[in-house]
């Protein structure tokens, strides 16, 4: 191989290798996305507090604390919590909170009187303000 051929093939090969290394590095180390609540127990403990905080911020007053339970389909990989409660005006409050360990995503939905107040949000209450 002569010098010109080495330059024509070598430089692009090194550039491609560098791009692949940067991309792989980002996938392995650059993504700092993590679940706020890594276990079913942690999610179950946090949801009544963060949901009540979110509702309060939206002007919805609960008449009693939310009652939350683990959903039957909850596993170590798929975190699932459901809460129920009552708001002023005898409106039923429903909260569904999920976490996916595979994608590291949380989703929260709150219904008041059957209408969505929060829909598929990735945070609620004080958790959202921490990121701001």
Residue 129's pLDDT band (cuts 50, 70, 90): confident
- The sign of the CA dihedral 86, 89, 92, 94 is negative
pLDDT in tens, 30-77: 446 789 999 999 999 999 999 999 999 999 999 999 999 999 999 999
Share of the chain above pLDDT 70, in %: 73
The Cα angle at residue 111 between residues 110 and 116, in degrees rounded to 5:
90
CB atoms within 10 A of CB 127: 19
pLDDT at 18 over 70: no
Whole-angstrom Cα distance, residue 102 to residue 70?
19
pTM, two decimals, is 0.73
């Amino acid at each position: 191989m002569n010098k010109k051929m080495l330059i024509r093939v070598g430089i692009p090969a090194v550039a491609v290798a560098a791009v692949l290394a940067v991309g792989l590095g980002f996938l392995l180390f650059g993504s700092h996305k993590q679940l706020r609540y890594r276990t079913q127990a942690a999610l179950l403990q946090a949801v009544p507090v963060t949901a009540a905080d979110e509702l309060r911020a939206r002007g919805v007053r609960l008449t009693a604390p939310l009652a939350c339970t683990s959903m039957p389909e909850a596993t170590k990989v798929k975190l699932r919590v459901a809460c129920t409660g009552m708001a002023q005006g005898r409106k039923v409050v429903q909260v569904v909170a999920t976490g996916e360990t595979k994608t590291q995503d949380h989703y929260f939905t709150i219904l008041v009187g059957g209408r969505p107040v929060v829909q598929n949000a990735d945070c609620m209450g004080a958790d959202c303000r921490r990121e701001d």
